[in-house]
A and B are shown apart, each in its own frame.
Chain A
Amino acid sequence: MSRLNRHICKLKSVPGLISLLFMIVPSVAMADDLNAGDTAWMLTSMALVLFMTIPGLSLFYAGMVRSKNVLSVLMQCFAITSMVTILWALYAYSVAFGGEGAYWGGLSKVFLSGVSVDAMSGTIPETVFMCFQMTFAIITPALIVGAFAERMKFSAMLWFMGLWLTFVYAPICHWVWGSGGWLGGRGILDFAGGTVVHINAGIAGFVACLVMGKRKGYPTTPMMPHNLTYTVVGASMLWVGWFGFNAGSELAADGTAGMAMAVTQIATAAAALAWMFSEWLSHGKPTTLGIASGAVAGLVAITPASGFVGPMGSIAIGVAAGVGCFIAAAKLKPALGYDDSLDVFGVHCIGGIIGALLTGIFCAKSLGGTGFGVDSGGMGAQLGVQVVGVLSTLIWSGVLSFIILKVLDAVIGLRVTEEQETEGLDIVLHDERGYSL
């Protein structure tokens, strides 16, 4: 029996003392401004979002590559998780959330200075906020891995992700969510990261696959997923973890978090069905990879909208994402001929743009939403701000990613050799194989 329980047992014999206890507890909670419910939910959310990257996204991607590259993808996601954690603690948290600049947060929280046991961020400890945001900084670069899978050098991948976090993720994160950030100030509605996470990673992936070039043999050699069981399991983990991502982005355990959870579930289901039926109609069979990809597309699209739209709006967003991302991955990619190995652009960039724009429509109170983020001008003005957010993310992330990749290519080289690529990255880069069967 815990000490608290023993206290309560003792107190039960003294009714007067019980009422005294209930009077004291809330006043103590208010005194240090910490809300235990909010804090408990955010501790949980942080763990859920980390669960999205390892193992969720890792498995989602690992199943889609060929068996000779399965470990390389798992390794990239795991290494990014570890490296970003350290960089976030050293300086990236400060760049994103350290101050009130329009374009970056400054260096006041470098080495997490001031983020102590007592430091607060709203109603939760700042340590919890810092860790929650850290998991977003982890998954965003990890998403990019899918675009250049099966051909990038591990060392180049580490350099790229470190630089990308510093010059692309942390600043854009500040623009939208940091206090004083210029996009947030204009009234952009991005609840959980349509611009910051998905468009950002999606366009970086698109640029990366263009700069690096196609895999050897693409598209004439079949490059089929080697284990769709992993992929479906990974997508399911992403779906579960995403409640931390979206409902957690309220930073509180309240009604908005509840609605964010509801619309996340509904939009995801709508998108999974939309992709499944699109594929069924156009290719004759409903596929597991299709329904899983549709679910991820729906999760992506509802991300910016989740705190602002109602359940019926979320169905519309889900259907648009399921159909739109299916067209991008299954029609647009083959038509244009780029080799975005695992459709990071088709799912995350296109899905993110669909979500960011539709947020500006379905946030309208007349459509069941919570209202516009802009002070005046209604839906037109809101859509305008959303477009500015989308374009500025596309441009900043696209251009900076291009520069970082070109510099790295010149200095250390981005790709493994053709021979190494044919042999497989697991053996060549890691001296291991995924399966000894």
Chain B
Amino acid sequence: MKLVTAIIKPFKLDDVREALSAVGVQGMTVTETKGFGRQKGHTELYRGAEYVVDFLPKTKVEVAVSDDKVESVVSTISTAAQTGKIGDGKIFVFDLVEVVRIRTGETGNEAV
């Protein structure tokens, strides 16, 4: 099992959610977050004083998947979240040691 964590542009969230549903992903966790990469930050302007704001608003999508689905989930996210412009985000894939469905107590792939 893997945990796929994608940092994407906030306005791409709906596209990503729909595309993931289409390939059979049944759940995900979404967090509003901040960060920067090569895009760097932006400037804000208050009465002529320009402030460089390093951290830009981003959305973090986390999906737990079985090993056979990792490839399709990663490619689905990277297609759906892509604009081709700087700041599109990153996808991280982690090994997932255990998953438990709290309601039934199921574990492993059955719980994903």
List residues of chain A with CB under 8 Å of any chain B CB.
219, 222, 224-225, 279, 282-283, 285, 287, 289-290, 293, 326, 329-331, 334, 343
Contact = CB atoms under 8 A, between A and B. Distances in A.
B47 A329 contact: yes
- In this complex, the interface size class of chain B, counting residues with CB under 8 Å from chain A, is 10 to 19
17 contacts: A222-B51, A222-B53, A224-B51, A279-B48, A282-B48, A283-B45, A283-B50, A287-B45, A289-B46, A289-B47, A293-B47, A329-B47, A329-B48, A330-B48, A330-B49, A334-B49, A343-B47
B48 A326 contact: yes
Interface in B33-50: 44-50
A330 B47 contact: yes
A20 to B, nearest CB: 64
A219 B46 CA distance: 13
A368 to B, nearest CB: 32
B48 A225 contact: no
Contacts of A331: 48
A224 B44 contact: yes
Nearest to A284: B45
Query: Of B44, B47, B50, which is in contact with the most chain A CB atoms at under 10 Å from its CB?
Result: B47
B66 to A, nearest CB: 38
A343 B46 CA distance: 11
Contacts of B49: 219, 330, 334
Contacts of B51: 222, 224
A142 B28 CA distance: 51
Contacts of A334: 48-49
A343 to B, nearest CB: 6
Contacts, number: 31
A264 to B, nearest CB: 23
A290 B47 contact: yes
B48 A283 contact: yes
A222 B46 CA distance: 10
Contacts of A329: 47-48
Contacts of A287: 45-46
Nearest to A278: B48
Interface in B12-52: 44-52
Nearest to A334: B49
Interface string B48-66: 1111110000000000000
Nearest to B53: A222
Contacts of B47: 289-290, 293, 329-330, 343
A225 B45 contact: no
A225 B50 contact: no
A64 to B, nearest CB: 8
A50 B67 CA distance: 68
A286 to B, nearest CB: 10
B12 to A, nearest CB: 25
B47 to A, nearest CB: 5
B25 to A, nearest CB: 31
A350 to B, nearest CB: 13
A222 B52 CA distance: 8
Contacts of B46: 224-225, 287, 289
Instruction: Identify which of B48, B51, B53 gathers the most chain A CB atoms within 10 Å of its CB.
Output: B48
A219 B52 CA distance: 13
A331 B48 CA distance: 7
A260 to B, nearest CB: 29
A326 B47 CA distance: 7
Given A222-B52, A287-B45, A287-B46, 20 more contacts: A219-B49, A224-B44, A224-B46, A224-B51, A225-B46, A279-B45, A279-B48, A283-B50, A285-B45, A289-B47, A293-B47, A326-B48, A329-B47, A329-B48, A330-B48, A330-B49, A331-B48, A334-B48, A334-B49, A343-B47
Nearest to B51: A222
B48 to A, nearest CB: 2
A219 to B, nearest CB: 8
Interface centre among B44, B46, B49, B53 (most CB of A within 10 A): B46
A114 B53 CA distance: 60
Contacts of A283: 45, 48, 50
B57 to A, nearest CB: 15
Nearest to B48: A330
A330 to B, nearest CB: 2
Contacts of B53: 222
